[in-house]
Each structure stands twice: as structure tokens, then as C-alpha cells.
Chains A and B, each alone.
Chain A
């Protein structure tokens, strides 16, 4: 039931048009309001004493010296906080067998990772609170550390939570067809082991929360840098034992999130608990070091993969064995089993084959907890699949593009159900591949590569097809029992001057959500986009919704906004019909005016209609509905997820003397359905690609054997900076989802999903003359030199 709304079909449509973001000029002038910019009367600051041990029993906490520091007001232990804040266990019913232990806001008795909060110091300033931390005395009795995921399940490995019986948090095995038979009959079977490294998000604005409690009203107001205000409201109410209606979460400007800010963090819960205990505003802003040890990590996977192909180069079977370490607790409330589960769901996703066996094993360890981070599981599944695909192409002597052409699910095969049981409504792998090959001039690049090789210059071309899960339904979290809304809503209001205000449950963290909403609402109501004001991020004001994650803002929030806008337009036309003595269906609203539909002749500006409705309602017929407000909600129901697809290519040059990789160029063709704002979508793709490139080449949370994070600052944990990054060519194929009028699917994670695989394949393509290969991210010069046999192999 998707309609043709694109700019091509309707010259004046806002859908498909690059419109500047209404909130960008404010941010460019430094007039944003991030949590740390807010100061409230009587506000105090909290700093956390974090465990220096990866695993230890907590002994005596002596606060005397800390309390003597000027400016220090209170010291809280885990037990103090536990009295007002109940612990949580992060499991979901549909992830069968997932187990975790009760986790407290501040550790009680035992610290289970280096960085876990053990005590809190509250002071008049952050500096004074840190002075207090410096003299706080905490006794620890170190316990044996489980750092290595490969041995986490060995009988001699100590148990992190003895009451769970073992260190296994979750295991899932999926089997389709006859993988053993198919492998046995394959013309060639390739296999490899991949490591995706442990990464973290490094949001430039650290996690921040300012919680204010008003005892007189039993009201908690929380300014929070978050992606999911309503989810946080629900969680705070539950664990602080308050009615949900007495908790208000306000989310102003957010300095980047990428999934990092969609989880419940112990230190943030403790901050809210302290606000409730002290009855005054308490601010917590993580510093960079504590961000590294307490923001969620992700992607710590080891995957063994096997792929069988027949003599014509058709994939006949895929086998995956995934192992991931998630830290000592599953993270609340989304759980830490989703990433491994996604690896099972997504491996082989772009390809047409029937025989599949996949296993994920999710183990506990004494490291920072891991959870969902931009593109959850996709970069892992994509790297494994595309790495194996390139190996298979090489094994049978076929060009990697031709190999993909033979195996990608046909563009006319939809609806299609994958070997992993994922249902695809409509994808465009072949169109995307054709566009990519043309855009990058693949044949010319291959010719140039061959020429340069003669001259001792080693370039490589890497291709990666991918699918991306967007627009999640309750099948993602809701059916597992989590109170995380898959539905979202929008309220649209016409004010007397003819301007429009729209309140939405999805949120803005820089993606351009508010610009997208303004465009859609302007289109729905029929007003110039400058006349639309968007309000997001306030649980007391906006319709209840899920927020922004899993690339759902445009597809779900956008559709709700479109439907609300159309409903308001219908309400306007009903009133206009009465005023103009015309049938409402003969009128329309275009560019802020009521017009005659047939001729386009202007009949009345909306400001005039507003004036009469609001101030001279006496002149309208009695009983005429005059609702200048409309609310609509939207939820996907035909498919559990709206999958998108795309393909990326990377061109690199490897210096075989130094092991350095130079990124020369990157291409991406992506199909997110209806593109609402081309510039914003392209920049989501580019930013996502660079985030993926960071993981592939630089970023790594390196741990010592005793569970100490060795890369806990931005000098040791390398992030992509401008000088090393390539220019990126981005193009689109549009296959709108038929589930919604708007037809939009998500675009926020596609770049990150495919980039690491493309770079890995490009590096290995460059190294091919040396029969060298790398499969462990990040692909550092050291690892490349080791693969080339120029330096000895080292365990990382």
C-alpha cells in the first residue's frame, strides 16, 4: 500500500528532498544543550570509585578521609544504594536458556570487572568528588579472574557466579537443510577462523545524567543523554520503586550514541538513586577513562566458518561456530545475547543457499560488559560471510564479483526466507551489485591493480554484500518480556498562526531525526517545512515510543508522523469545507494554504483558518469537529523486521615493508527503501562506514591476562581521524517497504555493517601474491607483517 511520494513523482514533495536540519545552526553556534551544560539549583556531583581488580571481594570501605575533603558531602556504598534501588537480571524469554545474575547499581560484596562502581562520592563539584575518591579507602581481596573466552567453559575455570552453575550465558544452535551432506558433496570447501576484536563506541560526549528528585511531589526528573527516554523512565520507576508517571526523562542534545546510550548503566542508576536519597539534583558525567571501562563494549567474537561450493561456484552449505565473551553480566534490559543471536541470523544473509548450521556460544568473563553497538552483529556476520565467499571464489578460480552474481538472492525471488529463517520482503542485491561495479569501474581498477603489481605496488579491491535489520517489531524485545516499545507515535498540532508543532517518540542524536520528521509532517499536513517545529525527547510531553535504535527512526517514527500529518490535514479540510461552503474532498492543503483541489486556486491561508477556529469559533457551525490536533501510532506487523541490503567496496594499498594500509577509496550502494532526505542518508552511510573502518583497522579494547583494560584512553585506543580516512562514493537503489505509506526502512547502520568486511577482503586481495591472509581485526601493521612472515606471529 505504499504510494509514490518521491520527488520524482510529485515535484513539490518534501519526501526525497535534501532539506537542511532545523537544529543544526544552533549546534554550529555552540548553543546546544547537552546534559553537562545544565546547572540546577542545589546541584551536586557524583564520582565513582571503580574496582581496580577484574574480580575481587569487596572488604571494608573507610570513608572518613574522603568525608573530610572540603566540598565532599556524602559517600555511598553498594549496600546504601541497594536499599533504594533494586537489582536487575537481564534475560529475555525468547532467548531460551539465557541466564545472568542479579546486578546492583553499585557492587555489593564482589566486583566483577575492572571499572565496576564500588562506591560513590558526592560533592559540591566534580573536582571535589574526585579529591574524595583519591583518599577513599577500599579493601579488596582479589579473586581468580576469568579473562579468556576460549577457556571460560573449561571445568578448571572458576565460576563468576557460582549460583548459575557455569559460565555459559547463552547458546543457540540453528540448523537448516542437510549441511553435512551438502559439504560432503561440495566441489570445494573453504574454512577460516575470524576474530572481530572488542570495540567500544567512544561517543565524543560521554555518558551523562542529571537526576533531580522532588520529595514534596515524589517526582524524579532526569536529564539524560539517551536514545530511549521512555525505556529509561520505565526502568527507573521499576527499580526505584516509584509510579512510572512520577518519573520524567528529558533528553536534550545528545553528543553521539551509536547504541552506547540505549542501555541501563549501573552508575546512572546509582546517580538517580542518590538523587532520591538526597532530595536534590545530582549530576554524573563519565570522564574518558571511565567511559572506556564502563561504556558497553561489543564485537568480541571468534568465529570459525566453513563454506562449501559446487563446481559452478554455487554455495551449497555454510557452517558457523561463533564464540563471544560478554563480561560478567548480561546488560539490562536488552541483554548481551542479542549480538551472538544476530550472528546466527545474519551469516550468509545475502546469498541463496539452503543448508546451514550455526552455533553461538555466549560466555561470561571478568571484562567490561558487552551489548548492542551500532550494527549489532552485522559487521561480524558480514566479515565472516564475505571472507569465506572470497576464499571460495579464489578456490574455484572465479572473480569475486562473478561469484557474488551467481549466489546473491535474485531480485525477483521475493518474498524470500533465508536459511537462517529471516524473511525478506524485497531486496535488490543484483541491482546494487551492478550499480557498484559500474560506479567503481571495476574492470579498470583490476587492470590498474595488475599494472601496479608489476611495479611492486600492492593494491587490493574488496567487496562486501550485506543485509541490515531495521524497523524492528516486538519480535526483537517485546515478546521476550522487555518493556521496550516497538511502536511509536506522533502528535501533530496546528497553531493559530498556521504553524505546526509535532511531538514524536523517536529521538535525535545527530542523525537528523528532527529534520526527517519535519519533512514528513510538512508533507503530511501540506505546509512549508520551515513552519514545522519538532519536539522530541521528553516523556511527559511526547507520545510513548521506543526512541531511536535499530534504525527505526525514519521507518517507524516517520510513518507515525506522516499518518498524524495526514490526519490533521483531513481535520483541517473538514473545518475549511464548512467555512468555504465546499465539500472537504474538493479542497486540499498545499504550502500552508487551503486550495481548490482541481485548480490549485488559493482559498484561505492556514493562519486565517487558525484565527477563526481558535478565536472566532462562534462563527462555525455548532457541533462541527474542530480538532486541530491529531495523533497516530505506527507499528510494523507483516514482517518481524524490515531488512535492507547493500554492497560496499574498498580500495586499499598495502605497504608490504611496513604493513601499513592506506585507504584509497570506498564505495557503497545501499537500499533503505524510500529515501526521505538524501543528504542525511548519505552522511549516515559515510559516518557508519568510518565507524566500521575504525573497527577494522585501529580500534581494540586490549586486555591483559588478569583482566586489565590496557587501551583505556584515546591515545591507546585508536579511533579513525580525518587524515587516514578515504573519500566515499554513496549511491542508492530504492525498494520501499510495502508495509507503510512512507516506504522507508532504516539507514543508520548499513555503513558499519559492511565496511570491515570490504576492507578485510581488500587487504587480503592486496596480499594475495604473497599467499598471506589476515582474519583478525584490527588489521594492524604488526598483524599484516606477521601474515607476510616478516615478523614472528604473536598472540594478541
Chain B
């Protein structure tokens, strides 16, 4: 009996939020439980545990995945980013600020997953239309906001990021002329 239980444990080594992590996990352990229960990363949430609500969305090897449909045992060697890491590096700070300014979060339970999904969109598509934003987040359930504020926030950040990249180009072209 004890041996059978033991054999269900799997050794994994991976990077989570840029840090090395090694654990023995039960073969049935989902990524969302691994993050929350084994690593104490409670920023990612479980809303449905059957792949529909998107609350558990995190980034694995550059792609967003459902933490409730991914087994931790499959992640040996993976590079995982959660809201905690994305916040610490500042990668999604502009999105977070826009969400706060536009009140695109109310209870905040969907927000970490929503931010990961929105960041993923802006990575792929710097100038998404409102319909594209709606489509991209259509796997992330939010009961509080009615979504419009989220669409607005993402639109604002996309425009600001475009303006910022534009400014860099202009700034380089005109450097010297405006130097005081």
C-alpha cells in the first residue's frame, strides 16, 4: 500500500517566476494546486476546475495555459510565470494600473487570470480592435464587471504602448536637435 502511494509521486524541477523549484508531486496534482498549495502562490485562483472560467490562467513556456487542466508532473524543465512574478518584474504594471484606473476589477478574483490573458494578447497584437479584445478574453469569466471596463483598459494600454514605442523612434531621430 505504502509503496503504491509512493510510486504515484513524481519528481519535477522547473522555474517558477524566475526561481528554481524542485518538488515531488502526486501524479494527479494540477498546476493550480501545485502553485497554491505547494508553493503558496495564492494569486492564481481556481474558479471551476474544468477549464471553462480562466481564473487559473498562468504562463508556461511563453504560452498561457489553464492551471486546472495542466498536471504539475508534466512541467519538468518548464518556465512558469504567475501574477506574483509578473507583478514583481513590472511586466504587466501598465495593465494593472489601467485596470485600477478604469475599475476593470471589482472583486478581483478573475483579475490575475484576466491580466495574464490580456498580456498575452498585447504580446501578439499591438493594436487589437475591441472585438479582438473581447474574443481573446472570451475564455475568462468575470461576473462583476460586465467586461466593458476590461476592454477599455486593454485598449488604453495598447495605445499607450504604441505611443511609447513611437516616441522612442521619434526621440532617436530628433536627438540632439532638442537637447538643451
Residues in chain A near residue B129, CB distance under 8 A: none
Do residues A204 and B50 form an inter-chain contact, with CB atoms below 8 A?
A: no
Query: Do A29 and B52 form a contact, CB below 8 Å, given A510-B108, A722-B137?
Result: no
By beta carbon, the residue of chain B nearest A287 is B49
A679: CB under 8 A from chain B? yes
Residues in chain B near residue A29, CB distance under 8 A: 43, 83-84, 87, 96
Expressed in whole angstroms, the Cα–Cα distance for A77 and B26 within the complex equals 30
Expressed in whole angstroms, the Cα–Cα distance for A727 and B146 within the complex equals 9
Give the interface of A toward B (CB within 8 A): 20-21, 24-25, 27-34, 36-37, 70, 125, 127, 201-206, 253-258, 287-288, 509-512, 679-680, 683, 686-691, 713-715, 719-723, 725, 727-728, 751
Do residues B42 and A253 form an inter-chain contact, with CB atoms below 8 A?
A: no
Stretch at the interface among B72-80, B97-105, B156-164, B166-174: B97-105
Do residues A690 and B146 form an inter-chain contact, with CB atoms below 8 A?
A: yes
Which of A28, A31, A204, A680 lies in contact with B143, CB distance below 8 A?
A204
Residues in chain B near residue A70, CB distance under 8 A: 5
B39: CB under 8 A from chain A? no
Residues in chain B near residue A257, CB distance under 8 A: 107
By beta carbon, the residue of chain A nearest B136 is A722
By beta carbon, the residue of chain B nearest A684 is B106
For the complex of A and B, list the 6 residue pairs with the smallest distance between their C-beta atoms, beginning with the closest: A30-B43, A27-B108, A510-B107, A255-B109, A510-B106, A30-B83
Query: Do A721 and B141 form a contact, CB below 8 Å, given A20-B100, A31-B43, A256-B109?
Result: yes
Do residues B141 and A686 form an inter-chain contact, with CB atoms below 8 A?
A: no
Expressed in whole angstroms, the Cα–Cα distance for A25 and B108 within the complex equals 10
Do residues A27 and B147 form an inter-chain contact, with CB atoms below 8 A?
A: no
Expressed in whole angstroms, the Cα–Cα distance for A24 and B107 within the complex equals 9
Expressed in whole angstroms, the Cα–Cα distance for A470 and B52 within the complex equals 34
Do residues A256 and B143 form an inter-chain contact, with CB atoms below 8 A?
A: yes
Do residues A722 and B108 form an inter-chain contact, with CB atoms below 8 A?
A: no
Q: Which of B108-147 contact A (CB under 8 A)?
A: 108-112, 115, 130, 133-135, 137-147
Distance in Å from the Cβ of B153 to the closest Cβ of chain A?
10
Do residues B107 and A205 form an inter-chain contact, with CB atoms below 8 A?
A: yes
> What are 26 sample pairs from A and B whose C-beta atoms fall under 8 A apart?
A20-B101, A28-B96, A28-B99, A28-B115, A29-B96, A30-B82, A33-B42, A36-B42, A70-B5, A204-B55, A204-B141, A255-B108, A288-B47, A288-B49, A288-B50, A510-B108, A679-B102, A679-B103, A686-B148, A688-B146, A713-B48, A719-B141, A719-B143, A725-B134, A727-B130, A727-B151
Distance in Å from the Cβ of A318 to the closest Cβ of chain B?
31
By beta carbon, the residue of chain B nearest A256 is B107
Which of B43, B109, B151 lies in contact with A204, CB distance below 8 A?
B109
By beta carbon, the residue of chain B nearest A254 is B107
By beta carbon, the residue of chain B nearest A729 is B148
Expressed in whole angstroms, the Cα–Cα distance for A256 and B134 within the complex equals 21
Distance in Å from the Cβ of B49 to the closest Cβ of chain A?
6
Please tell me the size bucket of the interface on B. Answer: 35 or more
Residues in chain A near residue B41, CB distance under 8 A: 30
Do residues A722 and B150 form an inter-chain contact, with CB atoms below 8 A?
A: yes
Distance in Å from the Cβ of B121 to the closest Cβ of chain A?
11
Distance in Å from the Cβ of A422 to the closest Cβ of chain B?
28
Tell which of A125, A288, A680, A688 has the most Cβ of chain B within 10 Å: A288
Tell which of B82, B110, B135, B146 has the most Cβ of chain A within 10 Å: B146
Do residues B109 and A715 form an inter-chain contact, with CB atoms below 8 A?
A: no
Expressed in whole angstroms, the Cα–Cα distance for A728 and B146 within the complex equals 9
Residues in chain B near residue A509, CB distance under 8 A: 107
B45: CB under 8 A from chain A? yes
Residues in chain B near residue A258, CB distance under 8 A: 143
By beta carbon, the residue of chain B nearest A689 is B146
Distance in Å from the Cβ of A696 to the closest Cβ of chain B?
14
Which secondary structure characterizes the binding site on chain B? loop
* Mask of B29-54 contacts with A, CB within 8 angstroms, 1/0: 00001001100011111111110110
Further pairs besides A30-B42, A256-B109: 15, Cβ < 8 Å: A27-B111, A33-B42, A34-B109, A205-B47, A255-B45, A256-B107, A510-B107, A512-B103, A686-B145, A687-B143, A689-B146, A714-B52, A722-B137, A727-B130, A728-B146
Residues in chain A near residue B134, CB distance under 8 A: 722-723, 725
Distance in Å from the Cβ of A509 to the closest Cβ of chain B?
6
Residues in chain B near residue A206, CB distance under 8 A: 47
By beta carbon, the residue of chain A nearest B50 is A713
Query: Do A725 and B147 form a contact, CB below 8 Å, given A27-B111, A28-B115, A714-B48?
Result: yes
Distance in Å from the Cβ of A247 to the closest Cβ of chain B?
25
B149: CB under 8 A from chain A? yes
Distance in Å from the Cβ of B146 to the closest Cβ of chain A?
4
Residues in chain A near residue B99, CB distance under 8 A: 24, 28
Do residues A21 and B48 form an inter-chain contact, with CB atoms below 8 A?
A: no
Do residues B45 and A715 form an inter-chain contact, with CB atoms below 8 A?
A: no
Distance in Å from the Cβ of A334 to the closest Cβ of chain B?
21
Query: Do A728 and B148 form a contact, CB below 8 Å, given A30-B82, A256-B107, A722-B140?
Result: yes
Expressed in whole angstroms, the Cα–Cα distance for A27 and B83 within the complex equals 10
Expressed in whole angstroms, the Cα–Cα distance for A123 and B49 within the complex equals 20
Expressed in whole angstroms, the Cα–Cα distance for A187 and B110 within the complex equals 53
Residues in chain A near residue B83, CB distance under 8 A: 29-30
Residues in chain A near residue B48, CB distance under 8 A: 288, 713-714
Distance in Å from the Cβ of B64 to the closest Cβ of chain A?
15
Do residues B52 and A715 form an inter-chain contact, with CB atoms below 8 A?
A: yes
By beta carbon, the residue of chain B nearest A37 is B42
Expressed in whole angstroms, the Cα–Cα distance for A287 and B109 within the complex equals 15
Residues in chain A near residue B106, CB distance under 8 A: 256, 510-512, 683, 687
Do residues B50 and A714 form an inter-chain contact, with CB atoms below 8 A?
A: yes
By beta carbon, the residue of chain A nearest B28 is A127
Do residues A30 and B141 form an inter-chain contact, with CB atoms below 8 A?
A: no
Do residues B108 and A721 form an inter-chain contact, with CB atoms below 8 A?
A: no
Residues in chain B near residue A253, CB distance under 8 A: 107-108
Expressed in whole angstroms, the Cα–Cα distance for A715 and B139 within the complex equals 11
